[in-house]
Structure 1
Amino acid sequence: MGNTSKKLAAKCTLLTKEEQKYVAATFRAASKNSERIREDDLIVSGKVDAVLLEKFWGPQIDPRLAQYLSNFLFGSGQQKSPSVDFNRFAELYVYNVRGTVDERMMVTYNSLGKDYNETVELPYQLLREYCESIASTYIKILKSSTSHRARTWIEKGFRGKASHVQALGEAVAATVGGDLDSPHHHCTADQLSKWLQTNILLKQLAELVFVNLYGINKKAGDESPTPLPPSMPSLLPIPEGLDAMPDYPAFIDLSHIVWLNSHLPQKHQHKWRFLFSSHIHGESFSTMAGRIQDQGASVLILEDNSGHIFGGYAPVSWSIGPNFTGDEDSFLFALAPKMRAYPSTGYNDHYQYLNHHTKTLPNGLIMGGQFEFGGIWIDADPFGAGASAESCSTYRGYKRLSKEPTFRIRSLEVWGVGDKPVVNKDEGAIAYSCSTYRGYKRLSKEPTFRIRSLEVWGVGDKPVVNKDERLSKEPTFRIRSLEVWGVGDKPVVNKDERLSKEPTFRIRSLEVWGVGDKPVVNKDEYAGSNQASVLKTHKSEYKMLQMMGKPVGETNF
């Protein structure tokens, strides 16, 4: 016991003075100024005491987490203790917030009613419920928060529904076994150790939960969603632009925002800027394109007609053009029915494509893959049609995001993340590229605009037109008669040079032979775009021959 006390004392030096003060104050209040907390002070008939919870934890804690904490503090089975001292009470906070991987392993095992032993495997279902209880408690903390940030999200319809909270816990637990979608049965100590080291979201959720349960740094009128120091990254971003929307049609959940925001680069986690909603701004590709350009990094979130919710993170500003843009920070994600992230592979740079009003290139928005085979494809005309390919080499572990390969868009949103890029007013604006003119930068303030005034001036003297040289009486005229005459003898056609006996003929047999070795096709690179274009060409030729009234298969020479 002495070694444990020394170890804890050394660990407590990692806490701030404020943290030490609040941990001690919480213990004194719970123990009623005695040296130990009895289980009866925390648990009544197997349930957490409502009076104590009202004072310290309120309605914030999930009942399952309360039981797990009771397992850690008082033990379980034959080793259960009727009371707990300050050391054990402090360990619960210190190890969850400042603990090493081994210490967090010990907390996890003990909370789930197991002795920490490298040979003991944890049932995956039990670990998943543990994650769900932490996620549920964090969402409860957000929903009971008085901060303007949390209240704005909640009042606009981001509710924190139980089914989505459960999906958040499942997404946290799913990474323990490597393959997210393979069935898990048990978790070894080695798997748990690697999981605790790499799962940043779980660590952040646990820290935020225990900081709140122990009342650390919580002050009256505190506007932060959690009482952590400002330097800590927030899982809930500041919503910018929602205040002006009285009836915002939210189709994603508070749990989705928390999970998605944790996957963004830290520099973009503090703020989401509302840019476009198909319900508010209308189902218009032009409107969407105009509102999302030059806005910096953004997330695109859409819901298909089957209720699947998914999207992509675009790390650079959207801009209309013929080429793919973006970088390797880009990723695609699914939010419902499961939360999954698909990071870039680096295999190609087909991260972002946006184009409109072109005749030779696809008009729409693409993230990943190839033209017509994108991880996400949104058609410009008609707006509302979308597709998600079966495979996409741009993103690792990718699986089709929508329920069906093609779908109708039920809802679509675009959010700018992080601060909006600063425009140097002396230079005008963030420029589009234009290879025609050297040093070109966008000339108008916005990508699209209304013309206030337009003038055209001729420069220099007006050119003199010699009327005697003009062939017609007037510059423009109606044709009364038109003739074309061949001059000289008609050219003789050497029949021996003509390949067929007759100018038109029926094809009796047709063969095509490849010569040399067959070229090797890299299946990962091949997306079928050439094949699709050839097929379209044959179809157009077929229609043309039909329109000309010629039998298909005849060839003219």
Structure 2
Amino acid sequence: MGNAESSGYQRRVARVPPAELADIERSFTNVTRNPGKKCAELTAFQDSIGNSLPGSASRRIFHGIQSVNITGKTAASSAEVTREQFVVFIIDLLRGTAEEKSAAITPMIRADNSEQVTGPQVQQFLEDLIGATIHVLRQQNALSGWSIENTRDLDSGIRTLATQLMSPLNSPNGGQSLEAPELSSSPISSVAMEDWLYKVPIISTFLRVVITLGLSILRENLEGQKDVSRLVPRCRRGRAPSFTSLLDLPAIMYLNSHLPSDMQHKWRLLFSTQVHGESFSQLCGQLVDQGPSLLVLRDSGGFIFGGFASQNWEVKPQFQGDSRCFLFTVLPRLDVFAYTGYNDHYMYLNHSQQTMPNGLGMGGQHHYFGLWIDSNFGKGHSKAKPRSTTYNSPQLSAGEEFSIDSMEVWALGDLPEELQAKNKRSILDVDPEAQALLEMTGRTRQSDGLRDKDDDGT
């Protein structure tokens, strides 16, 4: 190797342990199917991958490898990639600086050999990347209990997430985030690309999952295993195996990435109007003493939104929770709205009070919640003029006042030990008045017999 090649290549390989370097080189040997061969063409590359990755993803990866310049000198383009290019590309994606990652990703976005990166190219790259991530997780049986069939439409979810991930790309004037049509007329600079990758770390997570699982590189690496668990929590539906979630897989991955790390590994279905019916008492009975949770609603206008409750819900006429709580929207757009510091009105749950509002709320203030579900189940509001004070969230629902079409609640992570003794108790068990009211209306206790132990007994 020449000095330039040596400095570039050796600097990369010095970042990984010898065993990892050997694994990366072994992967290239699998591509060439010949230990002595130093180059590989696209056809051989795709043949070695087979069905592990979609064709669009394998072509983008190959183009990224092709674009690696080992020597730093201008070289004629080649239809082949070398072992050194392959090694540098993988290390830059997995261990590189922001500048190196951007240099590796930019040719993958610019797959048509154009000189500039534009908004539509980024959108298509993200759609391919998200689709490839789900594809490889499905191929490796790593969807952790989720399925394409038991979630919302995948294609629309991919487009929605791709659009959301583009939002931090700023205009050349440093102003507001641009919409995709505006980006189409403006080239995106390398500095903007680096800043974008820093602001949106889930993109690097997607790439690591696609590379490690799709190319069978460092699959046993602990960091790679954490990437998968951060993206896809284990799904436990209890006794509702045919339940179809309001969320799609891209939204699940996006929302899970915003949860505290100790809550990302498992979601357990607590409540669904599909299973438990439309009853505030049923909601409370399934929700109370179950630890942190994620609430998801679809209103009659088709909007999907909800909130993350970072602490255990309690029935009391005071606000509860902490600054980790957030509100979110899934449809028609995907976004998360975090705590502003304005007030501590994170969570509220109350019933059977004459002087205080009865229902479940998050953010804002009494009668003007960012998200409110009335104790007269089926009705709610999302009031923001123009934003909710607690979470800086806009109106989440189609109308300020809304009717609930469907709702589901997920318990997150492991149930704290102090709540395990209570986790089978319904609010109806300790509130005779609520139970009597339910019986007077002719309804049965739908929560009876529906609770199920998780795989770890919680």
Range into which the TM-score falls when normalised by the shorter chain: 0.7 to 0.9
* 1:344-383 alignment runs, 5 A limit: 344-381=339-376, 383=377
Give the match for residue 317 of structure 2. 322
Give the match for residue 429 of structure 2. 449
- Over 3 Å counting, the alpha-carbon distance change for 1:17 and 1:446 in structure 2 is farther
Tell me the secondary structure at the aligned position of residue 111 of structure 1.
helix
Give the match for residue 203 of structure 1. 204
Match of 2:83 among 71, 81, 86: 86
- Over 3 Å counting, the alpha-carbon distance change for 1:67 and 1:214 in structure 2 is closer
- Over 3 Å counting, the alpha-carbon distance change for 1:192 and 1:305 in structure 2 is same
Give the match for residue 38 of structure 1. 40
The yes-or-no answer on 1:332 pairing with 2:312 is no
Deviations 1:502-554 (Å, cap 9, x if unpaired)? xxxxxxxxxxxxxxxxxxxxxxxxxxxxxxxxxxxxxxxxxxxxxxxxxxxxx
Give the match for residue 7 of structure 1. 8
Give the distance between the partners of 1:396 and 1:180, measured in 2 at CA: 19
Give the distance between the partners of 1:65 and 1:180, measured in 2 at CA: 27
Residue 354 of structure 1 deviates from its aligned partner by 0.8
Tell me the secondary structure at the aligned position of residue 152 of structure 1.
coil
Give the distance between the partners of 2:98 and 2:390, measured in 1 at CA: 30
Asked which structure has the greater CA Rg, the reply is 1
CA contact (8 A) 1:156 1:250 kept: no
CA contact (8 A) 1:152 1:243 kept: no
Give the distance between the partners of 1:451 and 1:288, measured in 2 at CA: 14
Residue 115 of structure 1 deviates from its aligned partner by 13
CA contact (8 A) 1:347 1:393 kept: no
Tell me the secondary structure at the aligned position of residue 134 of structure 2.
helix
Tell me the secondary structure at the aligned position of residue 176 of structure 1.
coil
The yes-or-no answer on 1:228 pairing with 2:208 is no
Tell me the secondary structure at the aligned position of residue 145 of structure 2.
helix
Give the distance between the partners of 1:146 and 1:320, measured in 2 at CA: 40
Q: How many residues align?
A: 414
CA contact (8 A) 1:139 1:165 kept: no
- Over 3 Å counting, the alpha-carbon distance change for 1:182 and 1:261 in structure 2 is same
* 1:142-541 alignment runs, 5 A limit: 142-147=137-142, 150=143, 152-154=145-147, 157-158=150-151, 161-177=154-170, 179-180=176-177, 182=179, 184-185=182-183, 186=186, 187-218=188-219, 228-229=224-225, 233-240=229-236, 242-381=237-376, 383-390=377-384, 391-423=386-418, 447-449=427-429
The yes-or-no answer on 1:72 pairing with 2:64 is yes
Residue 108 of structure 1 deviates from its aligned partner by 2.2
Q: What letter corresponds to residue 308 of structure 2 in structure 1?
A: Y
Tell me the secondary structure at the aligned position of residue 84 of structure 2.
helix
Tell me the secondary structure at the aligned position of residue 228 of structure 1.
helix
* 1:103-142 alignment runs, 5 A limit: 103-113=100-110, 122-142=117-137
- Over 3 Å counting, the alpha-carbon distance change for 1:451 and 1:297 in structure 2 is closer
Tell me the secondary structure at the aligned position of residue 247 of structure 1.
coil
Residue 424 of structure 1 deviates from its aligned partner by 7.6
RCO higher in structure (CA 8 A, sep ≥6): 2
Higher mean C-alpha deviation, range 127-136 or range 412-421: 127-136
CA contact (8 A) 2:129 2:207 kept: yes
Give the match for residue 101 of structure 1. 98
Residue 253 of structure 1 deviates from its aligned partner by 1.1
Tell me the secondary structure at the aligned position of residue 333 of structure 1.
strand
CA contact (8 A) 2:20 2:218 kept: yes
- Over 3 Å counting, the alpha-carbon distance change for 1:208 and 1:179 in structure 2 is farther
Residue 275 of structure 1 deviates from its aligned partner by 0.9
- Over 3 Å counting, the alpha-carbon distance change for 1:232 and 1:371 in structure 2 is same
- Over 3 Å counting, the alpha-carbon distance change for 1:429 and 1:243 in structure 2 is closer
Give the distance between the partners of 1:337 and 1:296, measured in 2 at CA: 29
Give the distance between the partners of 1:451 and 1:327, measured in 2 at CA: 27
Deviations 1:477-508 (Å, cap 9, x if unpaired)? xxxxxxxxxxxxxxxxxxxxxxxxxxxxxxxx
- Over 3 Å counting, the alpha-carbon distance change for 1:214 and 1:370 in structure 2 is same
Tell me the secondary structure at the aligned position of residue 423 of structure 1.
helix
- Over 3 Å counting, the alpha-carbon distance change for 1:244 and 1:145 in structure 2 is farther
Give the distance between the partners of 1:29 and 1:92, measured in 2 at CA: 16
- Over 3 Å counting, the alpha-carbon distance change for 1:333 and 1:272 in structure 2 is same
Q: Work out the percentage of aligned pairs sharing the same amino acid.
A: 28
- Over 3 Å counting, the alpha-carbon distance change for 1:141 and 1:312 in structure 2 is same
Give the distance between the partners of 2:356 and 2:129, measured in 1 at CA: 48
CA contact (8 A) 1:145 1:151 kept: no
Tell me the secondary structure at the aligned position of residue 302 of structure 1.
strand
Give the match for residue 541 of structure 1. none
Give the distance between the partners of 2:43 and 2:419, measured in 1 at CA: 62
Q: What stretches of structure 1 of length at least 5 have no aligned partner?
A: 44-48, 431-443, 453-557
Tell me the secondary structure at the aligned position of residue 123 of structure 2.
helix
Tell me the secondary structure at the aligned position of residue 320 of structure 2.
coil
Deviations 1:427-480 (Å, cap 9, x if unpaired)? x769xxxxxxxxxxxxx976441799xxxxxxxxxxxxxxxxxxxxxxxxxxxx
Higher mean C-alpha deviation, range 8-17 or range 414-423: 8-17
- Over 3 Å counting, the alpha-carbon distance change for 1:446 and 1:16 in structure 2 is farther
Q: Alignment RMSD, CA only?
A: 3.1
Tell me the secondary structure at the aligned position of residue 224 of structure 2.
coil
Between Structure 1 and Structure 2, the one with more helix by share is 2
Give the distance between the partners of 1:448 and 1:22, measured in 2 at CA: 57
